[in-house]
């Protein structure tokens, strides 16, 4: 697991053909906007979160974010414990995100 600044996170993401973006925020937070192409897996769903993570391909790279970087850091730790080698936490989360967001509605 690595904690990356937005610049590092985006740079690595853009060069990664095996990338998956994961938003671990709540449904209410996601309704305010999500990074394009992200999949939503709410970390607050406990075992359901773990179950969904376990279904993911461990050979891919995961770029994980939340509101501030705290929950996504926890998510990356969980992923590492489950055998994922490439999990990247967005430091500062969506609060410091300078890119576009898409509305899911």
Residue 103 domain-assigned (yes or no): no
Domain count, the chain: 1
Q: Which tens digit of pLDDT belongs to each residue from 27-39?
A: 999 999 999 999 9
Catalytic residue among 41, 53, 66, 94: 66
Main-chain phi, psi angles of 83, to 5 degrees: 100, 10
Q: Which tens digit of pLDDT belongs to each residue from 8-17?
A: 999 999 999 9
Q: For residue 105, what pLDDT band results from cuts at 50, 70 and 90?
A: low
Residue 102 domain-assigned (yes or no): no
Find tokens 């305010």 and name the residue: 32
Residue 22 domain-assigned (yes or no): yes
Is 76 annotated in the active site?
no
Q: Is 18 left (phi over 0), alpha (psi -120 to 50) or beta?
A: alpha
Domain of residue 47 covers 2-96
Q: What is the CATH number of the domain that holds 47?
A: 3.40.250.10
Eight-class DSSP state of 22: E
Tell me the pTM: 0.95
Rounded mean pLDDT of the chain? 95
Residue 37 domain-assigned (yes or no): yes
Interacting residues of 95 by C-beta distance below 8 A, sequence separation 6+: 67, 68
- Count CB-CB contacts under 10 A for residue 57: 9
Residue 31 domain-assigned (yes or no): yes
Residue 61 domain-assigned (yes or no): yes
Residue 32 domain-assigned (yes or no): yes
């Amino acid at each position: 697991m690595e904690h990356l600044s937005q610049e590092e996170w985006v740079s690595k993401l853009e060069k990664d053909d095996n990338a998956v973006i994961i938003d671990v925020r709540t449904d209410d937070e996601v309704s305010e906007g999500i990074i394009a192409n992200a999949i939503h897996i709410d970390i607050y769903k406990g075992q359901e979160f773990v179950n969904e993570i376990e279904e993911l391909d461990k050979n891919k790279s995961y770029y994980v974010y939340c509101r501030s970087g705290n929950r996504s850091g926890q998510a990356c730790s969980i992923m590492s414990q489950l055998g994922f080698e490439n999990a990247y936490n967005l430091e500062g989360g969506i609060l410091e995100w300078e890119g576009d967001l898409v509305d899911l509605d």
